[in-house]
A and B are shown apart, each in its own frame.
Chain A
Amino acid sequence: DAKTTQPPSMDCAEGRAANLPCNHSTISGNEYVYWYRQIHSQGPQYIIHGLKNNETNEMASLIITEDRKSSTLILPHATLRDTAVYYCIVRVAGSTLGRLYFGRGTQLTVWP
């Protein structure tokens, strides 16, 4: 069952920030927001996750709205290697990843 909505595609100039939106209006209080990405011909790669506070790691930042109905993944300085499909996923805390619904994600293309 689709629990998130993402635009099918976006593009971004190299060196600029890439802001990828995700709507999860039916998210429950105990569900986390996860982001994965999949570079062509590779398996998905974990990026970041959060519950309600904004999160930052070496790859990206995650901004979650106060009502938690949407979030934005930010790649601060996109490079050509960031071209990939980005998946926004919600997952119940304490559960396994078994029933993750990936959807079709957003194809991000970074151009020189």
Chain B
Amino acid sequence: GAGVSQTPSNKVTEKGKYVELRCDPISGHTALYWYRQSLGQGPEFLIYFQGTGAADDSGLPNDRFFAVRPEGSVSTLKIQRTERGDSAVYLCASSFFDMTGQGRTEAFFGQGTRLTVV
């Protein structure tokens, strides 16, 4: 597809369970980002990948959260032992890596995965 694709669009899970959220970025985009958005708040940064490596994971709230991007394309956000407070919309975005220093890199966001922990 032409845009960032996230699956599933909705996920309901029980407290304590493990979940995986998938992101398919735009083809050719080397940068990939995960954000989390709670109701009434703006998106909150979680982690950024440049290629296969996590260049900045300082936004991950705790060690229950982990993300991978093994081949530099698709990324999976993994949440262990889910808690009700993890309920949110998880957004993925991708972009070209801005090497020009001119701020031209715009990020394209997916529709998000709405995670509900019951």
Please give the residue numbers on chain A whose beta carbons come within 8 Å of chain B beta carbons, in ascending order.
Answer: 32, 34, 41-46, 49, 51, 85, 87, 91, 93-105
Contact = CB atoms under 8 A, between A and B. Distances in A.
Closest 5 CB pairs of A and B: A43-B109, A102-B42, A98-B48, A94-B101, A32-B103
Contacts of B106: 46, 49
Contacts of B107: 44, 46, 97
A93 B103 CA distance: 5
A43 B44 contact: no
Given A43-B111, A46-B108, A104-B40, A51 B33 contact: no
A10 B115 CA distance: 30
Contacts of B42: 85, 87, 101-105
B66 interface: no
Nearest to B98: A94
Contacts of B59: 98-99
Chain B interface size, under 10 / 10 to 19 / 20 to 34 / 35 or more = 20 to 34
Contacts of A102: 42-44
A91 B33 contact: no
Contacts of B47: 98
Contacts of B103: 32, 34, 49, 51, 91, 93-94
Interface stretch (B14-22, B71-79, B80-88, B89-97): B89-97
Interface residue SS majority, chain B:
loop
A99 B56 CA distance: 9
A57 B21 CA distance: 34
B93 A97 contact: yes
Interface string B29-40: 001010000001
Nearest to A51: B103
A44 B44 contact: no
